[in-house]
Amino acid sequence: MKEQKPSYLNFDSDKYFWKPDINYRKHPEKYKVGKGEQGVLICEPYKSEIGKFWRFKNADIAEQSSVKIFELFKEYLTHGDFVGADMARKYLQMGFTRARRYFNYKSGKKYDSLNNHKPLQRGTGDPEKEKSAAIFFSKWKQAEADPQYARMKKDWKKNFG
């Protein structure tokens, strides 16, 4: 089995598409869809608009959070703002992945930085986070299945990447 190391060890910010000094509402043409959740904690003003609602501590909080973020997703679509919609979709995805991470690992960390970044033991996390993850997963998939979003994403990737 191939030994895995965290991807952040070799991170090169100069090669990263998303930049913290760009207003992506004013310059949406600079936004790239990317893989998964990339750019979600960088792209302003969306990071500030959406991030303040992103919570997954327990199922009730995750439900409120995912509903609010999904409302923002729909609102961005209504205004033809693909970047905002994609960022909201990314926050829903990140709600799933981070809640799963805290379900699998108590600290939320997968690797032991003090021990040559060896993987930590799974199954030590909070069972409540599994419920939070399921809630976010449902909303994330609902967002991805939205026909308007799918059309906009296809067009965006064709035109801007």
**pLDDT digit string, tens, across residues 3-25:** 666 666 666 677 777 888 999 99
**Structural domains counted in the chain:** 1
For residue 152, tell me if it sits in a domain: yes
For residue 22, tell me if it sits in a domain: no
For residue 5, tell me if it sits in a domain: no
For residue 61, tell me if it sits in a domain: yes
Among 9-13, 44-48, 86-90, 131-135, which stretch is predicted with the lowest mean pLDDT? 9-13
119: cis peptide before it, omega within 30°? no
For residue 113, tell me if it sits in a domain: no
Tell me if 98 sits within 8 A of 158, measured CB to CB: no
Contacts 24+ apart (CB under 8 A), 54-61: 54/91, 54/94, 54/95, 56/95, 56/98, 56/99, 56/102, 56/129, 56/132, 56/133, 56/136, 57/128, 57/132, 58/128, 58/131, 58/132, 59/128, 59/131, 59/132, 59/135, 61/132
- The C-alpha atoms of residue 121 and residue 15 are separated, in whole angstroms, by 32
For residue 10, tell me if it sits in a domain: no
pTM: 0.86
For residue 23, tell me if it sits in a domain: no
Q: Please provide the average confidence, as pLDDT, over all residues in the chain.
A: 89
For residue 48, tell me if it sits in a domain: yes
Residue 52 or residue 109, greater confidence: 52
Q: Which domain holds residue 138?
A: 39-108+122-161
